[in-house]
């Protein structure tokens, strides 16, 4: 073979090797991409999986929605399901409806709303227990709670005390030797005996605030949670009726006048509602005159001329004034205001006759006005006409006569002053 032929052969071999090398590289580079057919198939598979996942999520969402709409799902099946369960496993106690480990008023409330479609306080439980024994098979613990709570098994006291006084708020005298006090901390209204220990309890409130007692001995409670005034029997604690259902928003305080009219301070609506002796809406101290009425006192006093007048004293927390109205809602006068201060390092407050956080007001038998201030931690005694400062009592502390978070001050029939203190969890006699 000639030299030139040998060179051509070598060149062709090198060319084939180079081409093979390039093809190998191309195969390596293009392999992860796959063919157009492979990509379409893979994409189709991914789309199918995505649609399936979306459909599954949609199905789960519908199932979750069904659970929410039902509100009880596996917890509260109908009676046929209960009988099926009995056949397989025996009766299952389902009393703990809120799944918190205890059977209490929360469970009773859920049972009444879900099964009976009523508020639990509207149910005559003694009668219901006697006529619905079939429910006890699946709600044995709840039946036991009902009997204990309402003292049904032994005909005991229906006002049996269950909770302790924790955050006493508003006070009202019940007769000459007992007191009614609201406690939003435990959602109850307590009846205190002469030694100020709880002797009775009305429970089941969401947020009880203002309280008052009518001349008939009925207990009126401002229920902030249900936005109404609820009237209870002082004998058995039963709900008698409700008033102001479409009006009241935050009934922080209330008081009766001598004619049986009820005045309700509504801090959220910024008005004072007036209800007649029968419970009908009889008037309103209109907006514009009040900003945040926090306390109300209906009182009769003797004027300097010897005349007798009934006036309505309203504490307005937002502008720090005592505002005095006649029974028709006409503003007669006002006094108070925020105290001034002086000094830079040792600040002194000119607080006499002024208010920082006015909370409660009453007219004492001697004709002077008492105003409780939760910031100043004292009760000021003022002239009811001019608002002039006369004296004060109370101080910061935990001992007798001291305050930490006083929420109400009320006079007793014999001239003493009773003060509720939410921070100290007590009601005490001050003077």
Plot region of 401 (φ>0 → left; ψ -120 to 50 → alpha; else → beta): left
- The gap between the terminal CA atoms of the chain, to the nearest Å, is 137
Give the model confidence (pLDDT) of 107-124 as tens digits: 998 999 999 998 887 787
| Low-confidence winner among 28-37, 195-204, 212-221, 400-409 (lowest mean pLDDT) | 28-37
CA dist., res. 273 & res. 373, Å (int): 24
| Low-confidence winner among 147-151, 244-248, 287-291, 302-306 (lowest mean pLDDT) | 147-151
Yes or no: say if 385 and 338 are a contact pair by the CB < 8 Å rule. no
Cβ contacts of 412-420, under 8 Å, gap ≥ 24? 412/173, 413/173, 413/176, 415/364, 415/365, 417/370, 417/379, 418/171, 418/179, 419/372, 419/379, 419/394, 420/168, 420/169, 420/170, 420/171, 420/181
Yes or no: say if 221 and 189 are a contact pair by the CB < 8 Å rule. yes
Residues 6 or more apart in contact with residue 234 via CB below 8 angstroms: 174, 180, 191, 213, 217, 218, 219
Q: How many other CB atoms are there within 10 angstroms of residue 149's CB atom?
A: 17
- The pLDDT value recorded for residue 25 is 53
CA dist., res. 37 & res. 54, Å (int): 25
Yes or no: say if 95 and 107 are a contact pair by the CB < 8 Å rule. yes
Domain ranges for the chain: 81-149, 343-431
Yes or no: say if 272 and 338 are a contact pair by the CB < 8 Å rule. no
Give the model confidence (pLDDT) of 233-267 as tens digits: 999 899 999 999 989 999 999 999 999 999 999 99
CATH of 343-431, one of 2.40.10.500, 1.10.340.30, 2.40.40.20, 1.10.10.10: 2.40.10.500
Mean pLDDT of the residues in the chain: 83
* pTM score above 0.85: no
> Which tokens go with 169?
């708020």
């Amino acid at each position: 073979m000639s030299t030139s032929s040998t060179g051509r052969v070598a060149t062709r071999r090198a060319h084939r090797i180079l081409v093979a090398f390039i093809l190998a590289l191309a195969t390596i580079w293009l392999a992860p991409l796959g063919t157009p057919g492979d990509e379409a198939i893979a994409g189709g598979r991914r789309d199918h999986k995505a649609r399936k996942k979306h459909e599954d999520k949609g199905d789960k969402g519908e199932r979750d929605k069904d659970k929410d709409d039902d509100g009880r799902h596996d917890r509260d099946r109908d009676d046929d399901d209960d009988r099926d369960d009995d056949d397989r496993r025996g009766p299952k106690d389902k009393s703990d409806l809120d799944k918190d480990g205890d059977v209490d008023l929360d469970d009773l409330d859920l049972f009444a709303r879900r099964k009976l479609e009523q508020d639990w306080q509207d149910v005559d439980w003694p009668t219901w227990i006697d006529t619905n024994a079939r429910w006890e098979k699946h709600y044995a613990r709840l039946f036991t709670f009902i009997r204990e709570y309402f003292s049904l098994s032994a005909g005991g006291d229906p006002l049996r005390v269950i909770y302790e006084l924790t955050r006493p708020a508003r006070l009202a005298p019940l007769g000459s030797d007992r007191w009614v006090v609201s406690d939003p901390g435990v959602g109850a209204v307590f009846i205190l005996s002469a030694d100020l220990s709880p002797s009775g309890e009305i429970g089941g409130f969401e947020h009880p605030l203002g309280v008052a007692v009518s001349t008939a001995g009925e207990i009126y409670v401002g229920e902030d949670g249900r936005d109404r005034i609820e009237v209870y029997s002082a004998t058995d604690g039963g709900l008698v009726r409700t008033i102001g259902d479409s009006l009241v928003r935050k009934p922080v305080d209330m008081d009766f006048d001598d004619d049986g009219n009820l005045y309700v301070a509504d801090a959220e609506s910024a008005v004072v509602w007036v209800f007649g002796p029968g419970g009908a809406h009889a008037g309103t101290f209109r907006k514009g005159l009040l900003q945040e009425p926090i306390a109300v006192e209906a009182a009769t006093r003797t004027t300097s001329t010897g005349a007798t007048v009934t006036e309505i004293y309203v504490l307005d927390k937002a502008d720090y004034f005592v505002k005095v109205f006649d029974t028709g809602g006409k503003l007669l006068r006002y006094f108070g205001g925020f105290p001034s201060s002086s000094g830079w390092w040792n600040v002194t407050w000119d607080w006499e006759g002024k208010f920082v956080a006015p909370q409660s007001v009453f007219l004492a038998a001697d004709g002077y006005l008492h105003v409780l201030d939760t910031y100043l931690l004292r009760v000021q005694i003022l002239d009811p006409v001019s608002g002039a400062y006369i004296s004060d009592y109370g101080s910061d502390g935990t001992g007798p006569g001291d305050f930490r978070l006083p929420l109400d001050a009320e006079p007793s029939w014999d001239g003493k002053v009773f003060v509720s203190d939410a921070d100290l969890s007590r009601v005490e006699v001050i003077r």
